[in-house]
Amino acid sequence: DAGVIQSPRHEVTEMGQEVTLRCKPISGHNSLFWYRQTMMRGLELLIYFNNNVPIDDSGMPEDRFSAKMPNASFSTLKIQPSEPRDSAVYFCASSYLTGAQPQHFGDGTRLSIL
Amino acid sequence: DQQVKQNSPSLSVQEGRISILNCDYTNSMFDYFLWYKKYPAEGPTFLISISSIKDKNEDGRFTVFLNKSAKHLSLHIVPSQPGDSAVYFCAVHGSSNTGKLIFGQGTTLQVKP
């Protein structure tokens, strides 16, 4: 079974550049979550989608961050322009919406903004 | 204001002994609790969960205990193995059925051979 697939695994770019992170959820899952992990703040939820619709984006730190889910099998998290403080590991997770279900995580994208 | 707290950043135990990881939460409305394990350079992996209608759930070497009156959750690993060395996160699910989880800060477990 294919798990949650994230790309790229690592991204190093210069401040001011646009960064796009990609996620393919597990087939059949109808909820998708974007998290950011830092030493200071731990694992924090940025935004999540139910049935491709953004439900709660209150965790998105600034307007420089945006996320889309054009279909059930693909989502992107974009940072434009990027800043050094955006450096972190970004995880995508998916789950079934019905009932209390565990989320399944991808292996993350390690982002470094120079 | 952290709704989910893991007060011990790290724990070290000897192989074969019991590992006990703790987690406290603030909201009595939380209805579903989970533990995740995370190895370096990998995403968190679901380990075990418990519903608020239960006080114990067991899966092999892993047992989760829920004390609702104390708003306390614990994970017991018996016997501990070196391969259990990882970061353990507790997470809680609210009652709104949105699927949203709130994670603790994590506890790094080291099991020494």
User: Do the Cβ atoms of A43 and B45 come within 8 Å?
Assistant: no
Q: Which tens digit of pLDDT belongs to each residue from B13-40?
A: 999 999 999 999 998 888 899 999 999 9
pLDDT value for B96: 58
Tens digit of each residue's pLDDT (9 = 90 or more) over B61-97: 999 999 999 999 999 999 999 999 999 999 998 655 5
> What sign does the dihedral A64-A72-A5-A57 (CA atoms) show?
positive
pLDDT at B112 over 90: yes
A31 to chain B: nearest residue by CA? B99
> Given CA atoms A56, A60, A64, A67 in this order, what sign does their dihedral have?
negative
Cβ–Cβ below 8 Å for A105 and B104: no
β-pair type (A109-113, A10-13): parallel
> Which pLDDT does position A40 carry in this prediction?
85
Residues 6+ apart with CB under 8 A from A90: A6, A21, A34, A35, A36, A37, A77, A108, A109, A111
Distance between CA atoms of residues A2 and A23, nearest Å: 13
Among A50, A95, A100, select the one facing B51 at the smallest CB separation. Answer: A100
Question: A28 to chain B nearest CA, in Å?
Answer: 15
Q: Residue A1: which pLDDT band, with cuts at 50, 70 and 90?
A: low
Within its chain, how far is the Cα of A33 from the centroid? 6
Choose among B59, B61, B76: nearest CA to B13. B76
- The reported pLDDT for the residue numbered B97 is 59
**Cross-chain CB nearest to A56 (options B45, B97, B100):** B100
Instruction: Search chain B and give the residue with CA nearest A103.
Output: B46
Residues B51, B88: Cα–Cα separation, whole Å: 19
